[in-house]
A and B are shown apart, each in its own frame.
Chain A
């Protein structure tokens, strides 16, 4: 056995003083924090002095935007900008999975870089209301910065509205971004199996059951359809096409959340019923993101699904989808008959945009670049480089481009009818991502009924809207 430890007076003193020192050091570190928090408010001053410095020729800009189907063509555009204007744009392109986290970290630390930030309409109001992006109105008025032929008014009202925000939700908000992409949903189906695309969700459900082996043993496919259900924003964006068609909505006209209305509950019961009740979707649909759903469709696991319209080149390409080539067609998303008997469809639409970091030191030059990229000429060149996500009407109408990109006709229609989320409410993103999303995921996993889940979401959403002061 070890000798017992003798505690001499000297050792005791040493130990005690160390402990005291450690605690003091600890207090110092802890004490610094609250003081450090307000401090960064000061560096606001140098912003105004940065303007004269901008006169010097800028040869480098930085941008953050996640990797997507635009990557290859956008890289070509960056090369082109370098050749034309001598300005190198360094593009930080994390995958979407790490994108928001990265951008938020940069914003939190008030970094001067990157000069250019990217966001969609869902978060624009949140970013704008918190001063995380700079208003662009002054720049937009200056033809020296936009170029003479910019034609901002050519964008649809809906597009421009989604790029702007004002505190009182008026139409005349400040503009915070220039749009680079329109994303909306289409209905993709195997034309070798399905003769006529469904008009309504009722028909869609019938087809789904018909192509599910456990329901119809003669079905050539294992399952009838699949959903994006991996707790990512796509999950609720897909549901909205059902929700709106059934006559439900997220908020009523007075901004009261109505996510548990009878129509809303019915639409979710029907959509996820295909998974929970009829087992007409692959069992791991709850883990499907874009890539997994694409892979399963490419493998012929189901004959129909909703997907972003920009996915069509992938499905039509024989090298990317060898089993699907020549067999996939797409149509408008199904809807439901309205009171006049006509089918009303509500494909969800959103737009990705580029905006400016308010702490950036080269805002004018950064604006020049995003204006160049989104100008009629720029978008045309980008589309010619293979970009399909175009949102500018004049390029979508270009007869040459329509011949090359059959999707542009559909897209033009989508620009007109696609329905955006209630993104003008800064709290909407929080309600959708932190409350609605987990609830939907519980419904598809079978651990909660549609009614119970939506009741819960509505209660939380109401509380959030009350705290924010919109409703009483």
Chain B
């Protein structure tokens, strides 16, 4: 925060500079824009050099990935897996968060332990999880993948929801208890409605991170449960790289996440820092 009052020409100069930087920030989405554009190009336009900036859009690439290239299955897999694991993680995590926030279960240690599980690189659990699921015959199955994704989502839900619960005055529940509610009723009828926005935002973030996950999916899925990001990354053929269809798969994978992200924008800071910074 710098001095508030400045002379006018200087201020105007500064504002011009700000606009310039703002333009640069907008230009930052160029790689994503270019992907959208490529997905709408005909094959000749994709390989044209110099690159073409104005072209006749075509939906051929999208048609191709959903018919010939069989992208539909991975997409449905991703939707199903992300939806189920998000729901499960949010239910289990919210319950645990409430327990930790209101009844101080585990004191200070438990929440920090939960946080620490998120600090380890996912790669270190990949081999044991792979072997564990393998001996349970759960590789390339929905239950196996969902169980793993619930685990990945849990610490996130617990920390975020714990923060939301701590913000709600305890007096509200005390009032409910005096009115004859038991603890469970107080939680469901009084506290949860108040944290509804937090719950929604948490769900959105968990959904996005589950959908975007790649490393674990590349190890524990097979043909049956392959997720959409994996299918997009493996999209190539011996006939040369088909950039058009490949970028179309990219758009299909990414667009819903960007939209979801925009919806959660007001909570972005809080979500991404597990509530450590409130935006």
Asked if A291 and B238 sit within 8 Å, CB to CB, the answer is yes
Give CA–CA (A108, B218) in the complex, Å: 16
Chain B residue nearest to A314 in the complex (CB): B239
Partner of B140, one of A105, A292, A295: A105
Q: Which residues of B contact A (CB under 8 A)?
A: 44, 47, 49, 104, 106-108, 130-131, 134-135, 137, 139-140, 218-219, 222-223, 226, 230, 234-241
With known contacts A5-B107, A18-B106, A291–B237 Cβ distance under 8 A? yes
Q: Confirm or deny: A41 has a beta carbon within 8 angstroms of a beta carbon on chain B.
A: no
Partner of B240, one of A105, A109, A314: A314
With known contacts A291-B241, A292-B241, A95–B236 Cβ distance under 8 A? yes
Asked if B135 and A40 sit within 8 Å, CB to CB, the answer is yes
Return chain A residues, CB-CB under 8 Å to B236.
95, 289, 291
- Shortest beta-carbon distance from A284 to chain B in Å: 12
- Shortest beta-carbon distance from B55 to chain A in Å: 17
Asked if A290 and B238 sit within 8 Å, CB to CB, the answer is yes
Asked if B240 and A93 sit within 8 Å, CB to CB, the answer is no
Return chain B residues, CB-CB under 8 Å to A322.
44
Return chain B residues, CB-CB under 8 Å to A102.
140, 222-223
Chain B residue nearest to A39 in the complex (CB): B135
Q: Confirm or deny: A98 has a beta carbon within 8 angstroms of a beta carbon on chain B.
A: yes
Return chain B residues, CB-CB under 8 Å to A378.
none
What 13 new A-B contacts, CB under 8 Å, besides A101-B218, A102-B140, A311-B238? Answer: A5-B108, A36-B135, A94-B223, A94-B234, A98-B226, A102-B222, A105-B134, A106-B139, A290-B238, A291-B239, A294-B238, A299-B47, A320-B240
How many residue pairs between the two chains, A and B, have CB atoms under 8 Å in the bound complex? 73
Return chain B residues, CB-CB under 8 Å to A40.
135
Return chain B residues, CB-CB under 8 Å to A101.
218-219
User: What are 10 contact pairs spanning A and B, CB under 8 A?
Assistant: A98-B222, A98-B230, A101-B218, A105-B222, A106-B139, A109-B134, A109-B135, A111-B137, A295-B240, A298-B240
Return chain B residues, CB-CB under 8 Å to A294.
238-240
Give CA–CA (A11, B105) in the complex, Å: 9
Residues 263-316 of A contacting B (Cβ, < 8 Å)? 289-292, 294-295, 298-299, 311, 314
Give CA–CA (A356, B135) in the complex, Å: 21
Asked if A105 and B139 sit within 8 Å, CB to CB, the answer is yes
With known contacts A68-B238, A98-B234, A298-B240, A108–B134 Cβ distance under 8 A? yes
Interface string of A62-98 (1 = CB under 8 A from B): 0000011100000000000000000000001111011
Q: Report which residue of B134, B139, B238 has the largest number of chain A beta carbons within 10 angstroms of its beta carbon.
A: B238
Chain B residue nearest to A293 in the complex (CB): B240
Partner of B218, one of A36, A98, A298, A320: A98
- Shortest beta-carbon distance from A319 to chain B in Å: 9
Give CA–CA (A106, B239) in the complex, Å: 29
Give CA–CA (A40, B218) in the complex, Å: 26
Give CA–CA (A246, B230) in the complex, Å: 41
Chain B residue nearest to A296 in the complex (CB): B240
Return chain B residues, CB-CB under 8 Å to A11.
107
Chain B residue nearest to A107 in the complex (CB): B134
Q: Confirm or deny: A471 has a beta carbon within 8 angstroms of a beta carbon on chain B.
A: no
- Nearest 3 interchain pairs by C-beta: A295-B240, A294-B240, A109-B134
Count A interface residues, CB 8 Å: 35
Chain B residue nearest to A67 in the complex (CB): B237
Interface string of A426-437 (1 = CB under 8 A from B): 000000000000
Residues 36-64 of A contacting B (Cβ, < 8 Å)? 36, 40
Q: Confirm or deny: A15 has a beta carbon within 8 angstroms of a beta carbon on chain B.
A: yes
- Shortest beta-carbon distance from A180 to chain B in Å: 16
Return chain A residues, CB-CB under 8 Å to B237.
67, 291
Q: Report which residue of A101, A109, A311, A322 has the largest number of chain B beta carbons within 10 angstroms of its beta carbon.
A: A109
- Shortest beta-carbon distance from A263 to chain B in Å: 32
Q: Report which residue of A18, A69, A105 has the largest number of chain B beta carbons within 10 angstroms of its beta carbon.
A: A105
Interface string of A1-18 (1 = CB under 8 A from B): 000010000010001001
Return chain A residues, CB-CB under 8 Å to B139.
105-106, 109
Asked if B223 and A93 sit within 8 Å, CB to CB, the answer is yes
Partner of A320, one of B44, B108, B239: B239
Return chain A residues, CB-CB under 8 Å to B106.
15, 18
Give CA–CA (A92, B224) in the complex, Å: 9
Give CA–CA (A314, B241) in the complex, Å: 13
Give CA–CA (A109, B230) in the complex, Å: 22
Asked if A95 and B234 sit within 8 Å, CB to CB, the answer is yes
Give CA–CA (A290, B238) in the complex, Å: 6
Interface string of A190-229 (1 = CB under 8 A from B): 0000000000000000000000000000000000000000
Asked if A92 and B107 sit within 8 Å, CB to CB, the answer is no
Return chain A residues, CB-CB under 8 Å to B107.
5, 11, 15
Return chain B residues, CB-CB under 8 Å to A291.
236-241
Give CA–CA (A92, B219) in the complex, Å: 17
- Shortest beta-carbon distance from B196 to chain A in Å: 26
Chain B residue nearest to A18 in the complex (CB): B106
Asked if A92 and B137 sit within 8 Å, CB to CB, the answer is no
Give CA–CA (A67, B235) in the complex, Å: 11
Asked if A109 and B108 sit within 8 Å, CB to CB, the answer is no
- Shortest beta-carbon distance from B208 to chain A in Å: 24
Chain A residue nearest to B128 in the complex (CB): A33
Return chain B residues, CB-CB under 8 Å to A111.
137
Residues 320-340 of A contacting B (Cβ, < 8 Å)? 320-322
Asked if B222 and A69 sit within 8 Å, CB to CB, the answer is no
Chain B residue nearest to A103 in the complex (CB): B222
Give CA–CA (A105, B220) in the complex, Å: 9
Give CA–CA (A95, B106) in the complex, Å: 47
- Shortest beta-carbon distance from B176 to chain A in Å: 22
Give CA–CA (A11, B110) in the complex, Å: 14
